[in-house]
Each structure stands twice: as structure tokens, then as C-alpha cells.
Amino acid sequence: MFTIITPTIGRSTLLKTCESVNNQTCSDWEHLVIYDGPEQEVDVFKKIEHPQRKIMFSGRNFGDYGHSIRFFAWELAKYNYLMYIDDDDYYHEECLKVLQSNMDPNINFVFFPCRRLGCKFLNLPPRLGSTVSCQYAHKKQDQNGCPIRFSPGGYRHDGYWIQEMVENYPYQVIDPECPMVYVDVIGLTAKL
């Protein structure tokens, strides 16, 4: 059901990200971890092996905080719903289960809340320039079979892409009692 895409530069925080994916109560997922750079020995990769996880190398250094990796990974995804999580963020253990139980199959985008560590809960739906306030899952293709994918352009374009999707596709906002993703924007370490 879900392809989870994680761009990485091999930071040690990737361990917690992968652990949060491994611990999902919904097991219908694949996890694509894609290193932004040439193939090389990356210590943390030995610690995150899992039968549902593929570790790949982009073969180059895009250097745009994962935006081009998301574009690159779209073609590799085998499931219909794509999700993205950075290598310093992590999921609540019920994240995929809540999405799976509440998603409307006729909707292309599902937004769900996240919490920036050390900050108050952030609002939904997303607004241009405030993409850190939510995470989302989207279908790989719309109802007409047309691809829904990032256009390459760099990290600053994420907000514009999301705004365009909100304006052009039906979307759903899932607002459970607790956030489903924890975003560590300033390098804090915290427990769930």
C-alpha cells in the first residue's frame, strides 16, 4: 500500500527514522532509502537492513535536501501511495494504520499532522511556505492514470508543489488526536 521514500546523506539519525518505519503496526509498506551521492561504504546502512527496505545510491550528489531524490524515487516505487520522511524525522507507530483506515480512495492527497520537536502543534491544511506543518501521502497516479510527481527544482519548490496539488486535486486532511510524524528541525533528540 505505501512506498516510503527517505533521502539521506548517511546521518546517524537515519537509525531512528528506520526504526520508526520498522515499528509500524501496519506492515503493508516498502521503504526506499536513497543516499544522495555515489556508492560508497556508509556505516549506518549496515544497521538498518530490513526485508522491506531497499538501500540505493543516486550516483551523484544532488545537494538539494532530498527534493531530487523524491523525483528520482517516484519511478522506483511499487505501491500506489507514496510518502516521504527525512532522515532526521520519525513516525508514530500508528501512522500507517491511521492512514490506511481513514483514507478516502477517491482522494489523491492525504495530509496529516506532525509536531516539530520543541514547538507547539502545527496547523493543517498546509499553506504555501509552511510545509513543515504537515506530512502527506499521495497516489502515484491520479484517477486518469496521469502521474503525480515532484518536478525537479530544489527544496524551496516543495511548498509551491504542494500548493499546486492542493489547488488542482481533491485532498483530505486527517487530524488524529496526536501527531503522526515528529520533525526534528534543529537537531533535538526526544522520545515519543
The string of DSSP codes covering the chain is -EEEEEEES--TTHHHHHHHHHT-S---EEEEEEESSSS---HHHHT---TTEEEEE-SS---STTHHHHHHHHTT--SSEEEE--TTEEE-TTHHHHHHHH--TT-SEEEEEEEETTSPBPPSS--TT-GGGEEEEEESB-TTS-B--PPSS-TTHHHHHHHHHHHHS-EEE---SS-SEEE-SS------
The answer to whether residue 73 sits within a structural domain is yes
- Note the pTM of the prediction, 2 decimals: 0.82
For the cut 50, the answer to whether the pLDDT of residue 112 exceeds it is yes
How many independent structural domains does the chain possess?
Answer: 1
pLDDT at position 74:
84
The answer to whether residue 190 sits within a structural domain is no
pLDDT at position 10:
85
Higher pLDDT, residue 110 or 192: 110
For the cut 80, the answer to whether the pLDDT of residue 80 exceeds it is yes
Q: Give the range of the structural domain holding residue 142, as residue numbers without chain letter.
A: 2-183
CATH of the domain at 150: 3.90.550.10
The answer to whether residue 77 sits within a structural domain is yes
The answer to whether residue 141 sits within a structural domain is yes
